[in-house]
Every structure is written in C-alpha cells, then in structure tokens.
A and B are shown apart, each in its own frame.
Chain A
Amino acid sequence: MSGTSVTIGRPGQFEQFRRFAVRALEQASLRATDRAAREAVRNIRADMRRAKLGRLGNAIGAGSDKAKTGAVYRRGKEEFSASGWLHIRGRSERTLGVIEAYTEGADIRPRKGAWLWIPTQQVQQKVGRQRMTPALYQKAGFEERLGPLVFIQRSPAEAWLIVENVSVDKFGRHGRRARRLPKSGRARGARRKADFVVAFVGLRRTSRAARIDPTTIIAAAAARVPDFLGEELAKEI
C-alpha cells in the first residue's frame, strides 16, 4: 500500500477567527465605554436638575475613544484598551468652584480678613460684573453717594456694616435700595428717612453641602460596562 496524503482544515480559518474575535471585542469595547460615559453624564445632569442646580450639569461633558478617534489603543497584536471619560467643559474658576462645592461640599471662608461680607438688598448687588464687597463699595464711590460704612459686631459670629442717615422705601418693598438722604434731611415721595441700614452682613464662614455624588454615578455606569459589552458583543457577532 502506498502512502495516503490527507489535508485537513482550510488554511486561514483560525486566523480569520482570531481577527474576527479581536475586532468584535474592540468594537464592542468602544461602544460599551462610549455608552457608559454618556449614561454617566446623563445621570449626573439629571441628578443636578433634581438637586435644583438647574443647568449646571451642562458643564459636565463626556467623550470617548469611539467619538474621538473611533479606534482603540492597541498594545501588541491582541491587547488594547478603550475608554470613555467625563470632564468639566469650562475652564473658568467659577464653574470649577461651583461644581466642586456641589459635588464634594465646600466650607466657604473669607480669603482675607476675618469676615465674609454678604451685601444686603439695601445696597447694589454688583458693580459691573463683580459682586459687591466693602472694598468695592468704597472703590465705586458709594461712600460719597450713599454714606460711609460703620462696623457693628452683632455677635462673635456675626457683624454688620451699616450706613447711617439714608432714605428707604416707605413701604419696605423688595428691591428698593437705600439712597442718600436729601440735604434737607427729609425724604420725599414714597421714601422716608432711616437712621441707618445694614449694608453688609458679615459671617465668619458658611458652607455648602454636596448635593450630588458623581463618583457613585460614574461607578454605577462603569459597573454597567460589562452589560454594555455583552450587548454590544451580541450585536457584533
């Protein structure tokens, strides 16, 4: 009997399978991380709305390798990584501060001086785009226009800066600020003379509690990645 030559299998089948498997996993990973990132930012925004933070959630953005490059980061023949991420869209210190305060909580203290001065409704709230402060009050000329500030310590934790001899709204209506008293010393019209008004209330400190927990939300979204991966694999295969 002569030798029998037998060829088994088709060349390239296993390599095709390997490529298919790696590609399927790559695409599924890209989509899964993209979905997770988008879900996380969606939930964060929803929580912010529920926490009465309005559209502050729009300051949180999401991205992913799928959206950015559409490709995974390969390391070697079969290793790779795919990511989705969340970031703060703006760079302004105010935005960062607000988000930090409401996501991690904040203890607000004066940066200089002992008092954190909060303007009352009796004085102008803003000068230009800057929030009113005692220094700005002086700088903007309100001492001449309304009167000089007089410090009164109400308690160890509270103090006032008052302005003497001004005219105020006779009926105490909201939004009617104090004005300088006419030289005659008598208020006219719907205004009356007030011996003083509190222009600023001073506090030692105040705090803001964290209203949302993005870490938990992101962790929950991250925990969903395997589910997403499974679903995406099901689409891919």
Chain B
Amino acid sequence: MASNNVFPAFIRTEIEGGNAFAQFTAQGEDAAATFTRHFRGAAADVSRLVEKALAAPRNSFGALDLGTGKFREAAQAAEQRAAALRELATATSAMAAKEGELTSAQQAHIAATHQAAAAAEMDAQKKREQASMYDRFQAELNETAALMNRGAAATGAFAHAQGVQTQATGAQRMAMIQGSQQFQDFIIQVQAGGRPLTALSQQGSQLAFVLSGLEGKTGSVARFFAGPWGVAVFAATAVLGGLVTSLFDAGDAADDMGERQSALASMVDFTTGRIKDQISAVQALAEAQRQGQALEEARERYRASRSSIIRQGLAAGRPTVGAAEFGLRAQYGQDFQPAQRTSAAELQIRRLTEQYQRAEIDANRFGQAVDRIGKADPSVRRLTDALVELSSNTVTAARDVGRTEAAIAVLSGTATDAQRNLLRTLNATSGSAQARSVNNLIEAESKLATATTARERAQARLQVVQAKQGSITDQNSAEARRYRDELDGANRELQSAIAAERGAAEARREARAASAEARKAAREAAKEERELERALIATLRAFDPAASAARDYAEALGRIAELQAASAIDEVTAATYRSAAAMQAFDAETKAGQQHRAEVLQRLTPYFTSRMDQPLADIRRGMESAGAAAGDALRDSGLQAVDAIADALGGKLGRTVSAVIALLSTAEVGGRGAGMGGLLGGLGVAPGARGPMVDLPAGGTITLPRIAGGFEQGLVGVFNPLRTAINDLAGGIHKFLARNDSLAETLGSMAGHGMLGGIAGRMTGSGTAGAIGGVLGGVAGKAIGKALSSSLGSLGSAMGPIGSIAGGLLGGALGGLLSSTPRASSTIGVGPDGRLQVASTTGSRSLQAGTIGAADSAIATIERIAEALGATILPGVGAVSIGQRKGNWMLDPTGRGQTKEKKGAINFGQDANAAVRAATLDLIRDGILAGLRAGTQRLLQNAKDIEAGLSKALRFESVFTRLQEHLDPVGAAIDRIDKEFSGLRNVFQEAGASLAEYSKLEQLYGIERAKAIREAGERMTSTLRSLLDDLMVKNDAWSLRDRLAMARQAFDPLADAVRRGEQVDAEAFAEAGRNMLDIMRQLSGSTSAYFNFEDELRELTSSALSERQTLLDEASKRAPLMGGANDNGPVIGAIDHLGNYIVSELGGHLHAVNINLGRLIAQGGGAGGGRAFEFDLGGHNF
C-alpha cells in the first residue's frame, strides 16, 4: 500500500505553563505579607518614639516643661563673661596706650583679648536669643495648656447643659407617654359613643396638666390650660358639646336622606328600565299579532286568488254560451253540456289550467305560458290577459305570505337561515327605502368593524355616515347639519387615509430603493474589502519568510534530485546536500519563525492590553474605590489623632509633628513610591510584553506553548520590583527612625529651626500619595486585596493610639493617591537613523509597552501602504502620539504626547485598533507619504477610514499600472521590479545589511530586471516572431529543403557554440533543434539521415547539459546549494521539454512506422543504401 509522508498533517496550538495565575496569586500574597511585616515594625517604632516624646515633664500650666530658666541662666552667665572679657580688653588697650610703645607680643595679646571679648559677646547674644525663643515657646505651650484648661471648663459647662437637657428629655418623654394615654382615652370615649367635645373637655384638662411640665411654648400653653382659664374653657366646651353634637346629628340625617334619595332614584331608573322592556315586549307582541293578522289576510288573499284563478280558468276553458244553449240549459239545467267548439289555444289554456290546478306548475310559470299563448293567438288575448294578471297577483300574494311568515319566525326567534335570508333579500330588493337604509347601515357598520387598514376604515366610516342619510327628513335640521359635518369629516378622513396610504407606499418604495442601494453599497464595500484582503494576503504570502524558506528548500531538493537523476552526483553527495539544505532551511525557518513571533507578539499585545484586561481594570477600579474609602477613613482618624497630639503638645509644636511626617513622606518615600506605583499600576495593561508568548517551530506543527507562561513571567517581572520597592520603603522608614533615636529631640531641633508647616497642605502635596496610590491601584489580585485588607484592618490594633498618626497620613496618601491617573504616550517621529519610528515615550512605564506596540503597528501600516503604493516615507513631515489614559486609548494629532481630551487628544475608548488606524490616517494626512500621484494622495488624505482610502488608492493606481502594462510592458515590468526592490532596500537598511549583502541585492536586482525586460520583450515580440516562424520555417508553402535551410541557419550557430563548449540560450537551442527535427522527419522520414540528425541533436543536448552540470558542480563546491546563484532550472527544464517532445513525437509516429516497416518487409529489402521508399503516411504528416 502506498504511503504518504505529508498526510495526515496537523496544525496545533498548545498552551503550556498553566500555573501562571496561581503563581500570580502566591506572589501577591507574599508581597503583601512582606509589606505588612515591615509596616508593622516601622509603626511600632513610631509608636514607641512618640510615646517617649509624650512622657516629657510638665510645668504648673500643665504644658510641656522646656526648662527655659536654665537657658536664661546660661545667657546671663555668657553676658557676664562677655562683659569681663570686654573690660579686660579695654584695660589692656588703655595700659598699652599709656606705655606708648608695644611689643609684638603685647599687640597680639591685646588683639586676642578683643577677639575673645567679641566672641563672648556673640555667644552671649546667641544665648539670649535662644533663651528668649525658648521663653516664647514656653509661653506658647503655657497658652495652649491654658486654652486646654479653658476648653475643659467649657466642656464641663457643656456636660452640665447636657444633664439639663437630659432631664428635659425625660420630662418630655413622660409627657409624651401620658399625653398619648390621654389621647387614647379621648379616642376610646369617642368610639364608645361619647360626644367628642365632651370627651375633649374631660380629657383636655388632664392633657394640659400632663404637658405643663414641658419647657418652651408647649409647656406655656399647657400650663395656661391647666390653670383657671383652662377650667373655664373646658367647662364651656362641655356645654357646647351637646349643641355641636345635635348639629352633627342633623347633618347625618341630611346625608342619610340624600343616600336614600339616591337609592330611590336608582330604583326608579331600574323600574323605568323594566317598564321600557315591558313596553318593548308588548309592542313586539302587537307587531307579531299584526303580522299574524296580515299573514292570515295574505293567506286568505292567496286562497281567494287561487280559487279565483281556478274558477276563471275553468270559465275560460268553457265555450261561449249562445242563446240556444242558454235556452237548452234553461231547459235541462246546468248539467246540459253542448258540443264543444274549442280552438287549439283554448285547449292549451285548458290544459295549463288543469296542470296549475293539480299544482304541477306554479303561478309564475302558468302566467308566462298563458301570456305566450295570448300573444300567439289574439282571439284569446282577453282571456290570457286576465289570467296573467291573476297569476301575477297570486305570485305577489304568495311572496307576501312568505315574507310575513319569515318576519313572524324572526320575531318569535324560530326563524331558519332560509327565512332570515329571504327576509333580508326581500327587504333589500323590494323593501322600503328605510329598510334598505338600515341594511346599508348594518353592512357599513360590519365593514367598519372588520376593516383592517386605515383606508378601509375610512371608507366604511363614510358608508356608515352615508347610510344615516336615509333617516334624515328635514335637510335643514340640526341632524342634517351634523350629518353633513360627519360626511365631510368622513370624506376628509378617507382622503387623508388615501394620501397616507400613498405616502406609505411611496415611503416603502423609497425605503426599498434605499435598502437596495445600501445592500449594493455594502456588497461593493465587502467586495472591495475582500479584494484588498486577498491582495494583502497574497502580498504577505509572497513575502512570507517562512514560505520563502520552504520554497527554497523544495527547490533545492528538486535540484538535488535532478542532479542525482542525471547521475551528476552520487547518493552520498546527494544526502550531504540534502542535509545541508535541510539545515539551512531549518535555520531560515527558525529565523522566520522568530521574526513572525515578534510580529505576532506585537499584534497580540494590543488585544491583551486593551481588551483582555478589562476584568483587571474592573478590579482595579474596585481597589481604587475601596482604597479611597479606606484612605479617607484612615486619614480622618489620623487627623483626629494629630489634632489630639497638637492639643497635647501645643499648636506650633503639634504642627511641627505634621511637618516632620510630611518631610518623612517627601524625602524618604516619595521617590521610591512613584516608581513602585508605576510598576504595579501598569500591571493590567502590559502583561504580554515580557517573554516569548508564541512558539512556532518549523514544520507542520504549530505550538503556542507559553502565552500563559509569558503572562506569568510578566507578572513575576512586575512583582519582584514591587517586593523590592516595598522592602525598600519599609527599610527606609526604619532607617529614618533609627537615625533619630529620640523623636522628641528631632521635634525640638525642628522647632528650634522654625520648620513649621501645615499638615493639610503637606498631606495633599505629598509625593507619597502618588507612590502608594499607584501601588495599591495597580495591584490586581484577590490575594493582594485580602492581604492589604487584613493588614490595614489590624493597623490600629498593631500601632496603638499613636498608630492613628501614621494611619492618618497613610490614609491621606491612599485617598489622594488612588485617584492618580495612569497614563503613557508614545510619539511617532524621526528616529536617530532618520527613519520613521517611535521617537519618544513618556508616562507610566507599565503602560509604555502598549503604546509603543500601538505606535509600531501604525508605523508598520504606513510602511506597508508605502510599499503597496510605491511611495516614499518622509519621516520628518508628520508626528502623532498614541497614548493611554485611564485605560482608554488616546490620540494626539499634534504629536506632543498629550493624553487629555481638553488638550486636544482624541479618545478611542478601549479600541486600540481604532487608535492605530486614526494615527495612520493622521500621518497620511500630514503628508508623510511622498512620490504619489496627487489624486492618490487626496484619496488617502480625505479618507474617513484607512482601509477604504487604501482600497480606493490602490484601485486608482491600478488604472495607471494596467494601462502602462498595455502601452509600455517593458516600462511596467521595470517599475514593478523597482518598486519591489525599493522595499527590499528598506528591509536591508533596517536589517543593517553589510556592503557585501547590498552587492548581492544589487546583483539580484540586475538579474531580475534583465529577466523582466526579456520576458516583457518576449511577450511583445513573441507573436510577431511566431508569425515570422510560421511564414518561414513552419510555412508549408516553402519546400522542405528551403525550410530546412532556414532552420539550419538558426540551428547551426547554436550547435557550433555548443560544440565549442560555450554557453548558449538553451531555449533558443531547444526551439531550433525542434524545428530541425521536425523538418528532418518530414524530409527524411525514418531514414538514416533523420536518425543521424537525431543522434547529433541528442549528442549536442547532452553536451550542453554536461556543460551546465559542470558549472553546477563547480558552483556547488563553491557555495551551498541554497544560495540559488546558479539556477540551471530553465536549462534543465528546456532539455527535459525537448526530451519529452522527442518521446511524444516518437509515440505519434508509431502507427506510420508500423506501416513503413511492413512496406519494407513486403518489398523484401532493407532501408539502407540510400534508397528512397515511398511510405504510406497513414494520415500522418511525415
């Protein structure tokens, strides 16, 4: 069974390194624990030192005793010493002046004495100032203590007031309770049927007594009613209560009467309705009776008519009685029957009459038949007229009877469907105008009820209105006017409905047209997009390094196989070559894979940075919110603690504490914290920027082993600096506190130097805010959240009362810093090498990776567009910045790196691709692409969407390209090569290619250019050449010998060159050889001349092939096969083609050869001796 080395083939993605998230959590917990441990240690130090400061001695004012008396004593001592030294110096000078002449030693002594006096005076001055300052400071402390004492006194007064208020509250409570009971008694009394005013008079006095204990206006009023006036008022109320009750009773009676009247009216209405119903029933009964009577009358008329018609019919059939007959009848009586003399018409009438009598025909038919007879025979016309009239009356009477019966049945509710239909039909056809009007109204109402469209409803409503016209008798009445109004309204409504329907139809047509146009536009857009995508994919595939490497490898294998098939190399050499080719292919594919990985990484990064981290962003916002809340709480607590410290230590000194801690935050923490915040702040937006995410080994298997691994490495890379930074922070605090073993001394020193500041300003302006906020805001993880939650939650218990200071400061920092805005921006501009690249990047380092990736995408897009359009990039023309702010992608068209909308940046939300597209378009609008047609430039610059603009530009450019291919194929080919190699030159420049590599590129350019020119030229001239060949060598009009001579003219120089071992155009040689072979076959057939030439051609071909093989071998020794410098593929292909041609020709002539051999055998001779034979061509052109 055949085997296949290709199939099955697998394309696989593998995700490995699955503990990334677990490691992330563990590292977060570790970092949080470290942070907590160090923070607790530092806080304990702070607590200890501040407690030591608070344990300082107090003076009589209760303030901190600074010992100012000692300072003053020291100042006095210094002053005394300075005065003594000054006196000594003065005395020494005076003594020297008296002596007149001084030695150098005396002069030095005098100078030293003056200097010592001056120094002592300065020292005394300093000590005085110091003592003065300490006095003032002590005064401040004393004043503060006094204020605190006064505050305590005020607090005592407040406590007393609170006691009074408490008593008042108790009284109020009791009053409310008793008052409620009084109200309850009042309600119970009223509910029990007592009079309200009476109850009020009884309960009101008690209520007033209860409320009299209250303060304020309520108490005053209550006390009034509890007094003599209250007795009078309530007594009067008790008297008036009866009167008011009577008044209420009268009102109730009136209400009852009204209700009963209403009930009576309802009963009257009810009774009236029943009476109306009864009257209607009576009227219906009367109508039924009347109808019944009419029915009886109609039946009677019918019977009478029928009897009459029978009688008259009989009479009509009887002959005229003459006088004689009369006499005879008179003689014999009525039974006398004379001989009958009847006509045929009379007989017919008689027969019809008999049939009618036997009820074989009805009156209507009878009348019609009789009428026909009468018209045919005038002699019986009088009789027939009478019979027709009678029959007509009979029919009318019968109809009346049927209608009456149907009407009765309808009224009695026993009507059948047939009777109802009959009645409806009769009413409609022969009824009165009023009945028709009613029917029309019913029909119209029915239509109105069942109408489904506005137009149908309007029409039905118009019919309803029109149907009402019949009931109007007076055209000038109000009813008629209302009818006309209704008619006009219905007409207007109908017209409006018709117009609306037309409008809707028109709108539908327009909508359909618009929809069709939209669909068409969408189809065209989709088509353009597909074409563009196909073009881009084809371009990418053509330039795909991996595919190129695979092609090179396949070609190398093919060449090796050819050489081996031609026995030019043995199996061992072939294996060596294959191995070398495989190694080279592996290297190339590995390199291509690495490059592709880098591209993929770059393309995938925005997905992670802009979209996949949305949950992280949510967590981050939650952390910020929670952190801000925690910070606020801690800050408030801290402020309270600081206030307490300030109260305890004195105003200025207390503020000094704030200044110290603010300084601590600024000096020691701020710098580190800022960097640390940036590190963790960007965690959620650039995880994939570290480590390989995609691994693409060569071959048919694709693995993506470490996307999560890369994420993990990224997190590790983020957390390690975080842990270090936190350690540094804690260590910094610790060292700072360790250096200052006594916080009291520190405070004193700072107070001495006047370093006082406002705590609030320091807190809000602290650099620590950005640091810690960044830290906490950036940490995205449940574990971190838990750890911080527990550590912050236990902060107070860990640090004691002094912890509130640090807690407050930290809280303030948290509150201020969790709102810090993470942002970064990358600006596309001119790089050091003059190429377009990311010129600068600012902002958060963690966000920079994302912005750089986006900027690189925009640059890559620009480069692809330039390559596709053959444009030149002018790097210095435009600049644009892509940034991120608060998780949103921002674009600054000015290239200044702004990320605020109010400063001109454009917000693209979470859509990084939109920002990249906009950046690309902005650069194009800046005119960064040069060398384009003005129209192409306009299409690109005016495009609202980069893809659409590029599609239009490509189509626009394709017109000129295609036209040039028609008009100037060679120029078009050269342009194509130039465009391709222009792009390659950029690639070489980007790769930093060496001079030798540039020379290779130049060499390839020369070869490709020559090839393009040759191919284009051949396309231009091939037809003419073919025509010329058809006219000369291949022209049957020429004799075979002439054609052979022409072919030989072309063949011989090439053959001579081959014999001389020179390089010839293999295709030309093959073509000339084919022509020669063909003509020789026709001219010489299967004679030795043909076979001799065939042998010669084979020998020459083998020689040429051998020459090529020699070159190939030499080239193989010089350089690896993958170099591709000696491409003998066309030669080998041409030779193979020639060989195939020979074989096919052999096969094609097989049949004729059969015949010719038969002829030879039949002629009994050989084919030698130069004897010519006539061969049966057998349909072949030999």
| Interface positions of A (Cβ within 8 A of B) | 1-18, 20-21, 24-25, 29, 32-33, 36-37, 40, 60, 75-88, 93, 96-97, 99-100, 103-105, 120, 122, 162, 171-173, 194-198, 201, 207, 213-216, 218-223, 225-227, 229-230, 233-234, 237
Contact = CB atoms under 8 A, between A and B. Distances in A.
Contact of B2 (A81, A83, A85, A96): A96
A216 B789 contact: no
Contact of B1179 (A14, A60, A82, A171): A171
Given A7-B789, A85-B8, A218-B6, 11 more contacts: A6-B793, A84-B11, A103-B4, A105-B561, A171-B1179, A172-B1178, A198-B1150, A215-B700, A222-B700, A222-B701, A226-B694
11 contacts: A6-B630, A9-B622, A77-B22, A78-B18, A78-B20, A82-B13, A103-B4, A196-B1154, A223-B547, A225-B11, A229-B13
A12 to B, nearest CB: 8
A104 B4 CA distance: 9
B310 to A, nearest CB: 97
Given A9-B785, A120-B1150, A233-B604, A221 B11 contact: yes
Contact of B11 (A24, A40, A76, A120): A40
Interface stretch (B267-275, B611-619, B914-922): B611-619
Given A4-B796, A9-B623, A99 B4 contact: yes
A86 B9 contact: yes
A89 to B, nearest CB: 10
B1179 A219 contact: no
B216 interface: no
Nearest to A99: B4
Interface string B554-592: 100000010001000000000000000000000000000
A226 B596 contact: yes
A18 B21 contact: yes
A86 B12 CA distance: 12
Nearest to B1155: A194
B1048 to A, nearest CB: 27
Nearest to B610: A237
B541 A17 contact: no
A21 B612 CA distance: 7
Contacts of B913: 234
Contacts of B1162: 195
B782 interface: yes
Contact of A215 (B1, B6, B614, B1155): B6
B788 interface: yes
A76 B18 contact: yes
* Majority secondary structure, B binding face: helix
A219 B550 contact: yes
Contacts of B600: 226-227, 230
A1 B619 contact: no
Contacts of A7: 626, 785, 789, 793
B782 A36 contact: no
Contacts of A12: 782
A61 to B, nearest CB: 9
A93 B607 contact: no
B792 interface: yes
Interface string B1125-1164: 0000000000000000000000100110011011001100
Interface in B665-716: 694, 696, 698-702, 704, 707-708
Given A6-B626, A78-B18, A172-B1151, A29 B704 contact: yes
Interface in B4-62: 4-22, 25
A13 B16 contact: no
A234 B641 contact: no
B1158 A194 contact: yes
B801 interface: yes
Interface centre among A4, A86, A122 (most CB of B within 10 A): A4
B1154 A197 contact: yes
B641 A1 contact: yes
A75 B15 CA distance: 9
B797 interface: yes
B1135 to A, nearest CB: 14
A171 B1180 CA distance: 10
Contacts, number: 260
Contacts of A14: 21, 25, 615, 619, 780-783
B654 interface: no
Contact of A230 (B1, B607, B614, B796): B607
Nearest to B708: A78
Nearest to B791: A6
Contact of A81 (B15, B597, B615, B1158): B15
A88 B634 CA distance: 71
B619 A13 contact: yes
Contact of B796 (A3, A33, A219): A3
A118 B615 CA distance: 71
B702 A225 contact: yes
B3 A79 contact: no
Query: Of residues B11, B634, B797, B803, which shows the largest number of chain A Cβ atoms within 10 Å of its Cβ?
Result: B11
Contacts of A87: 7-9
Given A4-B633, A6-B633, A16-B615, A220 B547 contact: yes
B544 interface: yes
A63 to B, nearest CB: 9
A229 B20 CA distance: 20
A106 to B, nearest CB: 9
Contact of B1 (A2, A20, A93, A207): A93
Contacts of A37: 11
Contacts of B162: none
Contacts of A215: 6, 9, 550, 554, 700
Nearest to B796: A3
B604 A226 contact: yes
User: Which 8 A-B pairs have CB atoms at the shortest separation, nearest pair first?
Assistant: A9-B785, A3-B796, A78-B18, A17-B615, A6-B630, A195-B1158, A172-B1179, A226-B600
Contact of A4 (B615, B793, B1157): B793
Contacts of A25: 15, 707
A98 to B, nearest CB: 9
Contacts of B13: 29, 32-33, 81-83, 225, 229
B849 interface: no
Given A4-B637, A201-B1147, A213-B554, A24 B4 contact: no
Contacts of A99: 4, 7
Contacts of B1151: 122, 172
Interface in B1065-1107: none
B12 A17 contact: no
A1 B803 contact: yes
A218 B604 contact: no
Contacts of B25: 14
B708 A3 contact: no
B8 A223 contact: no
B203 interface: no
A80 B707 CA distance: 11
A201 B1147 CA distance: 9
Contacts of B793: 3-7
Contact of B551 (A11, A120, A201, A216): A216
Contacts of A227: 600, 603
Nearest to B700: A218
Interface in B408-445: none
Contacts of A226: 596-597, 600, 603-604, 694, 696, 704
Contacts of A29: 13, 15, 704
Contacts of B1157: 195-196
A212 to B, nearest CB: 10
A120 B797 CA distance: 105
Interface in B759-782: 776, 780-782
A13 B615 contact: yes
